[in-house]
Structure formats: C-alpha cells, structure tokens
Amino acid sequence: MKQFILLLAFISTASCLSAQDIFFTKTGKIGFDATTSSSPEKIAGTNKSVTCVVDTKKGDIQFSMLMKGFEFERALMQEHFNENYVETGKFPKAEFKGQIANNSQVNYAKDGTYPVKVKGNLTIHGETKTAETDGKLVIAGGKITASADFNVLLSDYKVAIPSLVSDKVAKTAKISVDCLLEPLKKN
C-alpha cells in the first residue's frame, strides 16, 4: 500500500512538472500563398485548425495539420490543391518537428517579444526536408503567440506544377504561421 501511494505521488509530481512547461493550441493558423505577378487570381489558402505544441523547457516545437483543412476563396482552387497538387487523399498530414535554437534567450516567465530561430524537419506531401526560419514568440499573460514567415520551394516536396500553368503558380510558397498557445493542463 505504501508503495502504491509513493508511486502515485511520484507520477503526479512528474506529470505536474512537465505540464507546466508545455504550451499548445489546436486552432493555430497557417497561411499559404503561391501567387505570382502573372497569376490571374490570388492563389492562397488558410488552415485554421493547426495543432502546435511547445516544450518551453527543452525548446522543442512541433506542428501538425490536416492538409485538407486549407480553405480557399475559390472552391475549384481548393479542389485542385487537394486533388492535383498536394494530393491530400494520399498524404493527409503535414508536420514540423524542430527546436528553438536560442531557447535559453527566451524568458517564458516574463512578458515580452523574443526573436527565435527554429530548425527542424518539415514533412509535406510525404517528403521530409530540413527547414529553418526566424520567427518570434510574444509572451503575454501566461500565453505565447508564435509567428513566423518563411518560404517553401514546392519542388523540394515533389509538388508538381504542370507546364501549362507554370508561370501562374509560384515555385516557392510563402508560409505564414500564427498560433496562440496556452498552457497544457493535464486532465
């Protein structure tokens, strides 16, 4: 019995400790824009149900989203995005798993804006490549806003653009990240 109580005590303290360091959201926003100057219309979509988790102690940061969740102004563009370009039926998820390189410079206990460098592996369309970007963390009232803008070369992820529209779709897509993270409460 004593053992059992001790065991429980240890488990609860262990999980309490880790929970304090973890911030997350399931409604983060990621935008995608592949418009060029010769595009007849705006080629841009937004995903508003991105999962993002940050371990502030270790500086780990991870994103995950369903590619199907991207919404476009034009229904046909959304269909082409899903069917022809990123093939969401075959590759439903996109993920990023990385680290905040300068995590020690971020004081999570103090409100403020902190520039960060993030490095890690980005998986889109079944292809994993290392990615690196500058972003910023805004800490305010016990919550973290993570934002970043970076470019993704579509050919790196084997997203083929047919020659017919090659001048109308940008070869690099601008990705913008905007996530409001809250502390994770265990149970």
Partner 1 sequence: MNKFTGCLLLSLLLLGTAPVWAQDTDLLKLVGEDKPKKEYVKYAFKSPRVINGHSMEFLNPGTMDFRILHRFGLVNQGYKNFFGMDQASMRMGFDFGVMKNLMFGFGRSTYKKELDGFIKYAPIRQSTGPHHSPLTVALVAGMTMDGLPWADPTRQNFFTSRLGYYFEMILGRKFSEGLSLQLVPTMVHRNLVDLNADPNNVYALGFGGRIKLSQRIAFTWDYTHVIIGMPDSGYYHPLSVGFDIETGGHVFQLHFSNSTGMNERAFITETTGNWAKGDIRFGFNLSRVFQIKKRKSF
Q: Does 187 bind partner 1 (CB under 8 A)?
A: no
Cα(55)–Cα(72) distance, integer angstroms: 32
Closest separation between CB of residue 29 and partner 1, Å?
10
User: Which of the ranges 78-86, 114-122, 131-139, 146-154 carries the binding residues for partner 1, by CB under 8 A?
Assistant: 78-86
The only residue of 20, 35, 39, 64 in contact with partner 1, by rule CB under 8 A: 64
Among 59, 95, 172, 174, binds partner 1 (CB under 8 A): 95
9-48 positions binding partner 1, by CB under 8 A = 10-11, 14, 18, 22, 24, 26, 44-46
Name residues contacting partner 1, limited to 112-171 (CB under 8 A): 162, 164-165
The verdict on 173 binding partner 1 (CB under 8 A) reads no
- Residue 69 CA to residue 20 CA, distance in Å, equals 30
For the chain, report the end-to-end CA distance as a whole number of angstroms: 25
Query: Rounded to the nearest whole angstrom, what is the least distance from the CB of residue 74 to partner 1 in the complex?
Result: 5
Q: Which of 133, 139, 97, 96 lies closest to 118 in space, CA to CA? A: 133
Q: Hey, which residues does 145 pair with through a beta bridge?
A: 138, 180
DSSP letter at 109 equals: T
Dihedral angle computed from the Cα positions of residues 121, 124, 128 and 132, in that order, rounded to the nearest 10 degrees:
-30
Q: Which residues bind partner 1 (CB under 8 A)?
A: 2-3, 6-7, 10-11, 14, 18, 22, 24, 26, 44-46, 51, 53-55, 60-62, 64, 68, 71-76, 79-80, 82-84, 87, 89-90, 95, 97, 162, 164-165, 184
